[in-house]
Amino acid sequence: MIGEHSLFGPVDPAAEAGYVDPPARKGFFTDTSVCIGCKACEVACKEWNEIPDDGFSLTGMSYDNTVSLSANTWRHVAFVEQPAAPAAATDGAGTVDLGMPGPPPPTSPEGAQATEELPDFRWLMSSDVCKHCTHAACLDVCPTGSLFRTEFGTVVVQPDICNGCGYCVPACPYGVIERRTGPEGAKNVGIAQKCTLCYDRIGDGQRPACAQACPTESIQYGDVDELRERAKARVEQLHEAGVMDARLYGADPDDGVGGAGAFFLLLDEPEVYGLPPDPVVTTRDLPHMFRRASAAAAALLVGAAVAFAGRRG
């Protein structure tokens, strides 16, 4: 049963957090099918939020130089190199027109020649970010109230209140939040850090910096309800175009986190992009565990009392 302050299930997170008549929930729909891997989102996020660099060394893992989300990477563009999509997954043609600028379609004479020259691999690119979960375990476990739910339904860290305990780090089912460890002299070292969904910008009626910078509108910002409808329509469009592997990730309010405020259209399994296939809010079972522990403690007390009474008798 979903009750007040539930730890799972579909709810309006802002209303549940106590906001009276909150504005529509805000979030992201990231359509990875049109991401070109330019990393403008990463750069815009760093600039706007004054995030230190991650070092400038190449990892040797394709063009992905940051590898994952971290205290110093609040947007991470994954570059996944794969063998070319099997023909069966793309309506027999091997490639499909995603509506992006590019070579002519393979059905035209120019396109036929271009197709012959196509490489036998493809890139999957995806700009990952904090999911701003409906049920956010990072927020549930924060002992200081540094992590809080905003009126827009997003989850934000207040650096001046965070004591650096790090409880939120293992609580996040996506491995998003992290304490900043450097570089020396950077602001907020020791403090938990992650995307704020640009709380300072959206409160002022502006788009988040990453969405503003994205040249292909892979990152779409808006009301979560409307974005979910838009995402469903895009999946249908891709299926009609023969991209049968297109699927949504995080858009289902009945999933393990009650639906994400930031969800994705993927072109392969979530694991391929480094995302957990079936995330569950890690605090979901806490009430059940407390009830069990209380029952066990009560049973022990009763047992001890009976044993004590028996010895006296």
- Near ligand SF4 by CB under 6 A: residue from 9, 37, 52, 159: 37
Query: Whole-angstrom Cα distance, residue 11 to residue 252?
Result: 12
- Near ligand SF4 by CB under 6 A: residue from 219, 231, 238, 275: 219
**Which has the closest alpha carbon to 45: 172, 162, 252, 214?**
214
- Quote the least distance from Cβ 232 to ligand SF4, whole Å: 20
3-class secondary-structure state, position 210 = helix
Binding letters toward ligand SF4, positions 224-243, x by CB under 6 A:
--------------------
Does 275 bind ligand SF4 (CB under 6 A)? Our answer is no
Q: Within 10 Å of residue 244's Cβ, how many Cβ atoms?
A: 14
Q: Is the link from the previous residue into 183 a cis peptide, with omega within 30 of 0?
A: yes
- Near ligand SF4 by CB under 6 A: residue from 27, 106, 208, 250: 208
Residue 44 assigned ligand-binding role: no
Does 191 bind ligand SF4 (CB under 6 A)? Our answer is no
Query: Measured from the CB atom, is 106 or 227 closer to ligand SF4?
Result: 227
Q: How far apart are the first and last CA of the chain?
A: 47
Q: How far is CA 256 from the centre of its chain?
A: 13
- Quote the least distance from Cβ 265 to ligand SF4, whole Å: 12
Residue with tokens 């109230």: 145
| DSSP-assigned states of every residue in 157-193 | E-TTT-----THHHH-TT---EE---STT-TTTTSEE
Does 267 bind ligand SF4 (CB under 6 A)? Our answer is no
Residue 145 assigned ligand-binding role: no
Residue 267 assigned ligand-binding role: no
Query: Measured from the CB atom, is 71 or 155 closer to ligand SF4?
Result: 155
DSSP-derived secondary structure letter, 120:
S
Stretch in the footprint of ligand SF4 (CB under 6 A) among 19-27, 73-81, 100-108, 244-252: 73-81
| DSSP-assigned states of every residue in 269-303 | -GGGGT--SS---TTTTHHHHHHHHHHHHHHHHHH
Note the maximum CA span of the chain. 101
Does 177 bind ligand SF4 (CB under 6 A)? Our answer is yes
Residue with tokens 């990463």: 42
Query: Measured from the CB atom, is 90 or 134 closer to ligand SF4?
Result: 134
| 266 bridge partner residues | 247
Query: Measured from the CB atom, is 96 or 211 closer to ligand SF4?
Result: 211
Question: Binders of ligand SF4 among 82-141, rule CB under 6 A?
Answer: 125, 127, 129-133, 136-138
- The annotation places the binding site for [4Fe-4S] cluster at 35, 38, 41, 45, 130, 133, 138, 142, 162, 165, 168, 172, 195, 198, 210, 214
* Contact set with ligand SF4 (CB under 6 A): 35-41, 44-45, 48-49, 74-75, 77, 125, 127, 129-133, 136-138, 155, 172, 174, 176-177, 194-198, 208-210, 213-214, 216, 218-219
